Structures are given as structure tokens and as C-alpha cells.
Amino acid sequence: MIAAFFQGMVLGAPLILPLGPQNAFVLQQGVRRHYPLMVAGLCTLSDIILICGGVFGGSALLSQSTLLLSLVTWGGVLFLLWYGWGALRSALSGAMDSVQAMPAKQGRWRIISTMIAVTWLNPHVYIDTFVMLGSLGGQLAPAARSWFVLGAVTASTVWFFGLALLASWLSPRLSTPGAQRIINLLVGLVMWIIALKLAQQALGGG
């Protein structure tokens, strides 16, 4: 059982760690100190739902339904392009707001809805957690699957909360207009690159 736990951690970590829309948003909110622990918690909860759903029998649904995958993909492309444009526009604008002036601009529900969209409209989240981890964990004996899920969820929890806390800790150094411009530029480019890759895959070029 311990082997299944560490297998879940080892296989889950490489799928969670790469910089993507989720991680970029957690980093951004951590630097701004806009409910970073709440964002990390919701990202972790989303991973728990997806990993459990995939490991305990749901991974075949998405992998076999081309229509569902297509709808998720194009919805994700449109959202990532829109969100990326907002970040790039902020980065390229002449006047950058200081982080201290930002908290009043985004309420809790606005952040929650954006986080949900960043997570659930990103097809890579389904492919990585629901399909890949789900298919790998689903091959284990029924008694070992729960330990596999626990290992993958542990990797997700440590990463998201660690990223949020690290970003919050570094916030004083990253709250200058110049640093904010770089962060927004990075976030915008990540969103657009992933959107373009998703569109290429959907059109049969990937």
C-alpha cells in the first residue's frame, strides 16, 4: 500500500508541477495576496475530484467521447485567449497599479469564478489528472487505488499550497510595477501558448 502511495506521488508530481494556467493563476494571486490559500485549496479540491473520478472508473468517458473533448478544448481555447489578453494588456500598459492598490478590485467570488474557469476549462487538467492518472491508478488492485489517489492528492496539496505561500512570502519583492509587468507578461504568454497548442491539437496538427 505504501508503494501505491509513493507511486501516486511520483506520477502525479510531474503532471502538476509544469507551469500552466492553474499554476500561473495561483502564483498571480499569491503575489497579490488575494485569497491565495483559498485559491490553492480550490485547486487541490478540483484535483481531488478529477483524480478520484479518473481512478475509480471515469477516465474512459472523456477519452472515448470526441465531442465532449472537442467542446472542452475549444471552450478552454477561448477562455485562455481572453484571460491571456487581459494579462498582456496589463503588462503592456503604460501605468501599472501597485499590488497594494489591487485588493479592492477583485472580490472573492470573482476570484473563485476565475479559478474555476482556469481549472475546469483547461483540457490539459482532464487529460493529465482524469485520463492519465485515472488510467494508471485504475490498473492497480482495488485495495491499492485509494493509496494511489492519496499519494497523487498529497503531491497536489503540497505543490499548490507551497506555491501560494511562497508567492505570498515573496510578494514585497514582487509587488513593484516592474515585477508585476513581468509576471503579467509571463502569465499572458503562458495562457496564449497553451491556447494555441490546444487549437493546433483540435485542428489535427498536434
DSSP 8-state code for residue 175: -
- How far apart, in whole angstroms, are the C-alpha atoms of residue 159 and residue 177? 27
Q: 42 pLDDT band (50/70/90 cuts)?
A: very high
Residue 111 grid coordinates: 476570484
Q: 19 pLDDT band (50/70/90 cuts)?
A: low
3-state helix, strand, coil in the chain (%, to 5): 85, 0, 15
Higher local confidence (pLDDT), 23 or 76: 23
Buried-exposed string 60-86: b where 16+ CB fall within 10 A, e elsewhere: ebbbeeeeebeebbebbbebbbebbee
Q: What is the mean pLDDT of residues 154-178?
A: 88
Q: What pLDDT, on the 0 to 100 scale, is given for residue 67? A: 72
pTM of the predicted structure, to 2 decimals: 0.73
Q: What is the mean pLDDT of residues 117-124?
A: 80
Question: Are the CB atoms for 139 and 8 separated by under 8 Å?
Answer: no
Say yes or no to pLDDT of 176 above 60. Answer: yes
Q: Which amino acid is at 15?
A: L
Q: 40 pLDDT band (50/70/90 cuts)?
A: very high
Q: 70 pLDDT band (50/70/90 cuts)?
A: confident
Going by C-alpha positions, the residue among 47, 97, 73 that lies closest to residue 201 is 73
